Structure 1
Amino acid sequence: MRHAVGMILLSSVILTGATLPKKGPVPVAKPATLGGQPTPMPRPPSKPAKARDGDEGLANDASKAESPPGKGEDLPQKDDALPPPPGSAAPAEVIVPVKTESAEEYASCLAALRKIGSRFTEAARIDDGSGCGIDKPIEVETILPGVALSPGGRMRCRTALALATWTKEAAAPAARTAFGPDTRITALNQASTYVCRHRNGASTGKISEHAHGNAVDIASFELADGKTIVIQPRDEDGTLTGAFQRAVTASACLYFTTVLDPGSDEAHEMHLHLDVIERENGYRYCR
Structure 2
Amino acid sequence: MRHAGLILLCSLIACGATLPQQGPVPAEKPENSSKPTPAPKPAAPTDNDSSATGKTESGRDLPAGWKDDAIDAVPPVIVEIEKEDEGAYRACLAALRTLGASFTEGARIDDGKGCGIDKPIEVNEILPGTSLKPEGTMRCETALALARWTRETAAPAAKVAFGPDAAIGSLNQASSYVCRLRNNGSTGKISEHARGNAIDIASITLKDGKTIDIQPRDDDGTLTGAFQRAITATACLYFTTVLDPGSDAAHETHLHFDVIERKNGYRYCR
TM value normalised by structure 2: 0.72
Q: Please, which of 207, 220, 232 is the counterpart of residue 224 of structure 1?
A: 207
Q: Indicate the residue corresponding to 1:286 in structure 2.
A: 269
Q: Indicate the residue corresponding to 1:277 in structure 2.
A: 260
Q: Please, which of 133, 149, 152 is the counterpart of residue 166 of structure 1?
A: 149
Aligned pair in 2 of structure 1 residues 100, 242: CA closer, same or farther (>3 Å)?
Answer: same
User: What secondary structure is seen at the aligned counterpart in 2 of 1:251?
Assistant: helix
Indicate conservation of the 8 Å contact 1:95/1:130, yes or no. no
What's the RMSD between the two structures over aligned residues?
A: 1.1
Mapped to 2, the partners of 1:248 and 1:105 lie a distance apart of 27
User: What secondary structure is seen at the aligned counterpart in 2 of 1:141?
Assistant: strand
User: What secondary structure is seen at the aligned counterpart in 1 of 2:165?
Assistant: coil
Amino acid at match of 1:143: I
Q: Indicate the residue corresponding to 2:185 in structure 1.
A: 202
Is 1:133 the counterpart of 2:121? The answer is no
Alignment of 1:46-195 (within 5 A): 93-94=75-76, 96=78, 97-195=80-178
Aligned pair in 2 of structure 1 residues 125, 238: CA closer, same or farther (>3 Å)?
Answer: same
> May I ask how many residue pairs the two structures share in their alignment?
198
**C-alpha displacement of 1:152:** 0.1
Mapped to 1, the partners of 2:179 and 2:74 lie a distance apart of 19
**C-alpha displacement of 1:204:** 1.4
Indicate conservation of the 8 Å contact 2:74/2:189, yes or no. no
Residues 24-64 of structure 1 show CA distances to partners (whole Å, capped at 9, x for unaligned) of xxxxxxxxxxxxxxxxxxxxxxxxxxxxxxxxxxxxxxxxx
Q: Indicate the residue corresponding to 1:238 in structure 2.
A: 221
**C-alpha displacement of 1:203:** 0.9
**C-alpha displacement of 1:195:** 0.1
**C-alpha displacement of 1:91:** 7.1
**C-alpha displacement of 1:197:** 0.3
Mapped to 2, the partners of 1:175 and 1:256 lie a distance apart of 20
Mapped to 1, the partners of 2:74 and 2:98 lie a distance apart of 44
Q: Which runs of 5+ in 2 are unaligned?
A: 1-71
**C-alpha displacement of 1:232:** 0.1
User: What secondary structure is seen at the aligned counterpart in 2 of 1:264?
Assistant: coil
Mapped to 1, the partners of 2:250 and 2:180 lie a distance apart of 15
Q: Indicate the residue corresponding to 2:194 in structure 1.
A: 211
Aligned pair in 2 of structure 1 residues 180, 98: CA closer, same or farther (>3 Å)?
Answer: same
Mapped to 2, the partners of 1:176 and 1:104 lie a distance apart of 36
**C-alpha displacement of 1:94:** 1.7
Q: Percent identity?
A: 71
Q: Indicate the residue corresponding to 1:66 in structure 2.
A: none
TM value normalised by structure 1: 0.68
Mapped to 2, the partners of 1:192 and 1:275 lie a distance apart of 11
User: What secondary structure is seen at the aligned counterpart in 1 of 2:122?
Assistant: strand
Indicate conservation of the 8 Å contact 2:74/2:190, yes or no. no
Mapped to 2, the partners of 1:251 and 1:93 lie a distance apart of 33
Q: Indicate the residue corresponding to 1:58 in structure 2.
A: none
Indicate conservation of the 8 Å contact 1:221/1:228, yes or no. yes
**C-alpha displacement of 1:93:** 2.9
Mapped to 1, the partners of 2:109 and 2:123 lie a distance apart of 15
**C-alpha displacement of 1:92:** 6.3
Q: Indicate the residue corresponding to 2:238 in structure 1.
A: 255
Amino acid at match of 2:92: C
Mapped to 2, the partners of 1:226 and 1:131 lie a distance apart of 40
Runs of 4+ residues deviating >4 angstroms: none
Alignment of 1:37-52 (within 5 A): none
Indicate conservation of the 8 Å contact 1:159/1:213, yes or no. yes
**C-alpha displacement of 1:221:** 0.3
